């Protein structure tokens, strides 16, 4: 593959990106959560290229990105509960796992089970314009090598996948900075991955708590395997202070190499998490991380930190 092209998020850049996607190429694009590595979900060759570029296990299914609930309904069967969640939170950082329609026409490679498909409608103008211009669902995992920290800026994508993908649309930093929350509606509804939409915002609508994925045995979202989102250096969590030789990722007032939020704002911390991990990783020293409260966005932050600190498989 030749060099990765950088595209501007304007009309011309989006038209070029859409043209590449229709020709089966790989284009990274911004969403409100993290940058996605997009491909035409209908073309086997394009979807296969995603797995190759990321070095992603072929059994790990992809999220399909569409422009509206109507477009999603052409791909999956919506229960009344799924309709309610989509109405409440789309566009936005919620992925729904729903029964795939046999008529959907999406590549089997994107949905290895052939049974359940993950769908979301991103809330980001560049992503929305690109989906419209491409005129088809876009399969898009986070635009990082498999197992590494997700990208929240075009520069992160370039450093992880430069030379392995065709283009990147640079839409600036991601507003939320954590991947979408993944929910499988049903009895009980399940939280498959905590993310950019806190569970406590979803549960009042459902009128019951979200069950965890664990009660089912095998992990259903392979992103939930222990070691994931990992920088190349070691991570030590719940550290009150750094030890000699460590970088310190702080939260709240006090000295730190980098601070997730000096004011202790958990939403700002989510926005900064992956960018700070990329930056500290580049410094090459082990990272000690301050304690982060485990509520709201904190739940997803701690989930990612635990996986980043887990022993490498
Ligand atoms: O915010 C996001 O969700 C970003 C942006 C680009 O949209 N995408 C993202 O994709 O995080 P990825 O592939 O890095 O993580 C998607 C997770 C994986 O853990 C995958 O196993 C799970 O979703 N997943 C996808 N399809 C699934 C399905 N049918 N059933 C269960 N889990 C699924
Ligand atoms: Mg990912």
- Average pLDDT per 10 consecutive residues for the chain, totaling 313 residues: 91 98 98 98 98 95 98 98 98 98 96 96 98 98 96 98 98 98 97 96 96 65 64 95 98 97 97 97 97 95 94 70
Structure-token match 């982060």, residue found: 292
For residue 149, how far is its CA from the centre of ligand 2 (angstroms)? Answer: 8
For residue 2, how far is its CA from the centre of ligand 1 (angstroms)? Answer: 28
pLDDT value for 226 = 62
For residue 62, how far is its CA from the centre of ligand 2 (angstroms)? Answer: 9
pLDDT value for 190 = 97
Q: Whose CA is nearest to atom 22 of ligand 1?
A: 221
Per-residue CA distances from 313 to 193, 217, 226, 281, 307 (Å): 20, 19, 8, 19, 11
Ligand with an atom nearest the CA of residue 29: 1
For ligand 1, whether the C-beta of 97 sits within 6 Å is yes
Q: Could you tell me which residues are beta bridge partners of residue 27?
A: 38, 167
For ligand 1, whether the C-beta of 171 sits within 6 Å is no
User: What are the residue boundaries of the structural domains of the chain, listed by start?
Assistant: 5-206, 235-309
Q: Could you tell me which residues are beta bridge partners of residue 100?
A: 76
pLDDT value for 2 = 72
Show Cβ contacts of residue 91 under 8 Å, excluding neighbours closer than 6 positions: 121, 122, 123, 128
Strands laid side by side in the 258-259 sheet: 235-236, 287-289, 247-250, 258-259
What torsion do the CA atoms of 105, 195, 6, 15 make, to the nearest 10 degrees? Answer: 40
Output the pTM of the full model. 0.95
Residue 96: both structure tokens together = 């729904």
pLDDT value for 222 = 53
Q: Which CATH superfamily is domain 5-206 in?
A: DHBP synthase (3.90.870.10)
């Amino acid at each position: 593959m030749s060099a990765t092209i950088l595209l501007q998020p304007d009309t011309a850049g989006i038209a070029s990106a859409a043209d590449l996607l229709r020709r089966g190429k790989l284009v990274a694009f911004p969403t409100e959560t993290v940058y996605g590595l997009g491909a035409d979900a209908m073309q086997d060759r394009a979807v296969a290229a995603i797995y190759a570029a990321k070095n992603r296990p072929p059994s790990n299914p992809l999220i399909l990105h569409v422009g509206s609930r109507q477009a999603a309904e052409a791909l999956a069967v919506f229960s009344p509960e799924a309709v309610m969640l989509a109405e409440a939170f789309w566009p936005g950082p919620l992925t729904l796992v729903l029964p795939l329609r046999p008529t959907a026409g999406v590549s089997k490679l994107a949905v290895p089970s052939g049974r359940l498909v993950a769908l979301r409608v991103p809330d980001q103008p560049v992503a929305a314009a690109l989906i419209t211009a491409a005129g088809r669902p876009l399969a898009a995992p986070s635009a990082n090598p498999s197992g590494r920290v997700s990208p929240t800026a075009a520069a992160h994508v370039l450093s992880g996948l430069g030379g392995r993908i065709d283009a990147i649309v640079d839409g600036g930093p991601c507003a939320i900075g954590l991947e979408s929350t993944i929910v499988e509606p049903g009895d009980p509804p399940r939280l498959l991955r905590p993310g950019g939409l806190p569970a406590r915002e979803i549960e009042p609508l459902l009128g019951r708590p979200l069950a965890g994925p664990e009660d089912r045995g095998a992990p259903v979202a392979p992103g939930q395997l222990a070691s994931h989102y990992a920088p190349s250096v070691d991570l030590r969590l719940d550290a009150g202070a750094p030890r000699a030789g460590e970088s310190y990722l702080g939260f709240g007032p006090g000295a730190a190499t980098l601070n997730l939020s000096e004011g202790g704002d958990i939403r700002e911390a989510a926005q900064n998490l992956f960018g700070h991990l990329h930056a500290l990783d580049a410094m090459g020293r082990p990272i000690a991380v301050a304690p982060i409260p485990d509520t709201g966005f904190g739940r997803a932050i701690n989930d990612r930190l635990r996986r980043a600190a887990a022993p490498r498989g």
